[in-house]
Chain A
Amino acid sequence: MELLYDILKAIHILMAVLWLGTDIGTFASFRRMRDATLSVSTRLSMSHLSDLLDMGPRSALVILLMLGLYMTHLGEFGLSGPTGSLLAQVSALIGLLWLAGVWHQYWVTHPPAGQTRSPAHVRFQRAFRTFDIYWRVGVSLALALLAVASLAGAGPFRSAWLAWKLILFAGIVACGVGIRIVIPRIVACMSDIAANGSSPEREARLTQVARPAQMFVWSIWLLLILISWLAVAKPE
């Protein structure tokens, strides 16, 4: 059991590493996508790279949450007893389905050049996108509430540092919701530029809609750094 916990912990660290690292690549390519001095085709190529690298943070968020809950049970930091065990297993199963949905989303929105995905897949993704946003809001609220309750002595998590980690993680999920709300506007602005060419007004609109996304990304990085410190320091 101890070895299983250690293996999950190593994967947990690896996911955090992949998240922050690939997010830097995502952010850098996203900034180049906004560079008005470049041709539209180059900017679209940068957008594709940004989307590809963004699958790192998108996947890591789900995997980290799954592993975190399972490790909480295994490490006896909370979610104890048969109910806790069942909850950890159910959350792992839901996480796998969520992860599949996230990758399906990428597969549907990024078909090979000149091809489109079948209408059934596109319809499913439209529904999934809406569900995903509400689901993230629910997860964020649930994590924050359970963590606050645990700090007050009435929640499922025994350690204060873990409760704080979950509060910060809830903040990350909330920032992710913010990004998801902003992304369609950025895509719309880029589509406008691709279809009608660059103009100062269109570029200004793109900069304006992209600004909140940058703030969310910086917030996520700061929260991840704080979470890493909490995980190492484990203050009680």
Chain B
Amino acid sequence: MFDSFVLLKTAHILLLATWLGVDIGVLACGWLIGRHQSSVETRAQFARLMVWLGLWPALSLVLTVLVALALVFVGRLGFVGWPADTTAQWMQWLAALTFLWLIATVTAFALNVRDAGVAWLRTCQRGFIWFDTLLRCAVVIGFAWLALRAWQDETLLFLDYLRWKSLIFAGVVACGLWARFALREFLPTLSIIAQQGSTEELEKRLTRQMRAATVPMLISWAGLVANIFIAVIQF
């Protein structure tokens, strides 16, 4: 009843809620920021809300990596080709890295809220974005490799549906990177509007960026939904 597999599986489902469910709020805020009829204050508040809500999917991603791999390990659904001690040690390292990543994500968010105008804070934020992007790339490559390799070496992941889930998860994280890239000038553009006033060109730029980010966001949602179906149907 309270065994680790059950608790991890429950956490896995709840993390989907804080990822996919909250992401809907992030997207809604993004589009509301683009409404030029709203006042600068209203748009700035939507931006703050968007950043705050965006923290949830970011933290969920980090935790999902750990929880998903821990589920495979605890449920003996894979990783049996290696000695159990070695795998357990790897899981401990992964837990430590996850903890670091979580701390860094929350700290970067807190610094972002405090003041973006201070030089050393900006350097910290830039550093974090690089750190976070690199780790996300590693997740994409790692999970895609795990899926593709498991089709050759069954001991990595026993079940076919888990390989598909792993591959789709890699795609979902890649879509997140794509959306981040598309939105890289979104908030700076809003800052320019707040400082210099709205122009048709700036508003168009804002809409264009949001539209470009919506595509990968919708694809990533489709991926997460597909993973729910795959996990239940277990074809």
Contact = CB atoms under 8 A, between A and B. Distances in A.
Interface of A: 3, 6-7, 9-10, 13-14, 16-26, 28-29, 32, 38-39, 41-42, 45-46, 49, 52-53, 56, 225, 228-229, 232-233, 235
A24 B19 CA distance: 11
Interface string B37-81: 011011001100100110010000000000000000000000000
B23 A21 contact: yes
Nearest to B25: A25
A232 B28 contact: no
Contacts of A235: 1
A124 to B, nearest CB: 28
Given A6-B232, A29-B49, A52-B28, A17 B20 contact: yes
B88 interface: no
A29 B18 CA distance: 16
B13 A28 contact: no
A76 B24 CA distance: 35
Contact of B49 (A21, A32, A228): A32
Contact of B6 (A9, A46, A56, A232): A232
A229 B17 contact: no
Interface string B18-33: 1111111110110010
Given A3-B233, A25-B53, A32 B45 contact: yes
Contacts of A6: 232-233
A23 B53 CA distance: 11
A24 B39 contact: no
Contacts of B21: 17-25, 56
The residue among A23, A26, A233 with the most chain B CB atoms within 10 A of its own CB is A233
9 contacts: A10-B233, A16-B13, A20-B17, A21-B25, A25-B25, A25-B28, A29-B25, A46-B49, A52-B28
B19 to A, nearest CB: 7
Nearest to B57: A21
B23 to A, nearest CB: 7
B9 interface: yes
A7 B233 contact: yes
A13 B228 contact: yes
Given A3-B233, A24-B21, A53 B49 contact: no
A16 to B, nearest CB: 7
A214 to B, nearest CB: 17
A232 B13 contact: yes
A14 B228 contact: yes
Contacts of B49: 28-29, 32, 46, 49
Contacts of A17: 13, 16-17, 20-21, 228
- The 6 A-B residue pairs with the shortest CB-CB distance in the complex, in nearest-first order: A21-B21, A25-B25, A20-B17, A10-B232, A42-B42, A17-B17
Nearest to B60: A21
Given A25-B53, A32-B49, A233 B6 contact: yes
Contacts of A29: 25, 49
Interface string B123-153: 0000000000000000000000000000000
